[in-house]
Amino acid sequence: MKLNTIGIGGFFRVSSALVIVGLLLEIVSLLWFSPLSFVLFAFVAASLIGLGILVYLASLVFAAVPASENRE
Amino acid sequence: MIGPTGVVVALVVVTIVAAAVFFVRPSITGGITGKILAFVGLCILPGLCIVMGMSFHMQRSEQTKFCISCHSMEAYGKSLYVDDAKHIPAQHFQNHRVPPEMACYSCHTDYTIFGPLKDKLAGVKRIYLQYVSSPPNPITIAGGFKNAQCLHCHLGARAFEENPVHVSIMDSLTSNQMSCLSSGCHDTAHDVANLSHEKFWKPGT
């Protein structure tokens, strides 16, 4: 399946899901006082949020409708 | 009054709500306003959450109670209460020569996550040893304790610089050729192996 066939809505859903899960884990890490809370934030939460941002940015490249198609 | 935790949690909650809108109704990004909101909600705000979360965790990692929350660091925390002026960390902690709530960080500013990449990677290894394997005994600092940790406070201080012993070896101290701790001058630091023989200071007594 080519990336540009997924559609921008699909990209946004994946991106927002990754961001939401990452942010929920960030809240847990903020409220949990343990050395593991830092590990949870740095290696899991921040990675998921970062991946969500990357998927959003990828949507701008791979799922954007060309301007010429908009005019038709 | 909302503390720093409250501020970060509030930002994270707002970002979750924004991201949830795009999850439920991705079609709202059809217009230019929706595109701008998507950029803010799925790029700017999450990025800000990472930055503020990292800043929060870094500041929390500087706290003494955070350091000694690791089981293997408990003895080091206890060593701060040894009732003996020859014990350098205890003397600094008890006399507030370092902020007591940030006592560990004050003398270990380049330790694991606070240091450059090599130290950060060493920190990851320590996490592995703590939770998966077992920590080394005794715990040592890779590359030894650097004089810079002492000198970032003591260098420029009158009592330190006018001391004739320090004056005669100042170059060796600043170049780290002679260690403040292991050259026989100030050599009692975190003597955790002998804590059972020590008398302890109880604050407020």
Name the residue with tokens 């959450």: B49
Mean pLDDT, all residues of chain B: 88
- Is residue A12 within 8 Å of residue A18, measured between CB atoms? no
For B78-129, what is each residue's pLDDT tens digit?
A: 999 999 888 999 999 999 999 999 999 899 887 777 777 777 777 788 888 8
Q: Where are the alpha helices (DSSP H) in chain A?
A: 8-31, 35-39, 46-62, 67-71
B150 Cβ partners below 8 Å, 6+ apart?
Answer: B107, B180
For B173-205, what is each residue's pLDDT tens digit?
A: 999 999 998 888 898 888 888 888 889 998 876
B101 Cβ partners below 8 Å, 6+ apart?
Answer: B63, B64, B65
Same domain, B137 and B154: yes
Q: What is the DSSP letter of A3?
A: G
Same domain, B32 and B120: no
In this complex, do A53 and B130 lie within 8 Å of one another by their Cβ atoms?
A: no
Kindly report the pTM of this predicted structure: 0.80
Interface residues from chain B to A (CB-CB < 8 Å)? 5, 8-9, 12-13, 15-16, 19-20, 22-23, 26-27, 29, 38, 41-43, 46-47, 49-50, 53-54, 56-57, 60-61, 66, 69-70, 113, 127, 130-131
Same domain, B14 and B110: no
Q: Could you say which of B61, B85, B106 is where a domain stops?
A: B61
Residue B202 falls inside a structural domain: no
Report which of residues B1 and A40 the model is more confident about: A40
Q: Could you say which of B42, B61, B80 is where a domain stops?
A: B61
Q: What is the ipTM of this complex?
A: 0.84
Q: What is the DSSP letter of B2?
A: -
Residue B191 falls inside a structural domain: yes
Residue type, B118: K
Same domain, B95 and B148: yes
Residue B204 falls inside a structural domain: no
Residue B45 falls inside a structural domain: yes
For B20-71, what is each residue's pLDDT tens digit?
A: 999 999 888 888 899 999 999 999 999 999 999 999 998 888 899 988 888 8
Its domain, for residue B138, covers 67-197
Say what the pLDDT of residue A34 is: 86
Same domain, B71 and B56: no
Residue B203 falls inside a structural domain: no
- β-pair partners for B82: B200
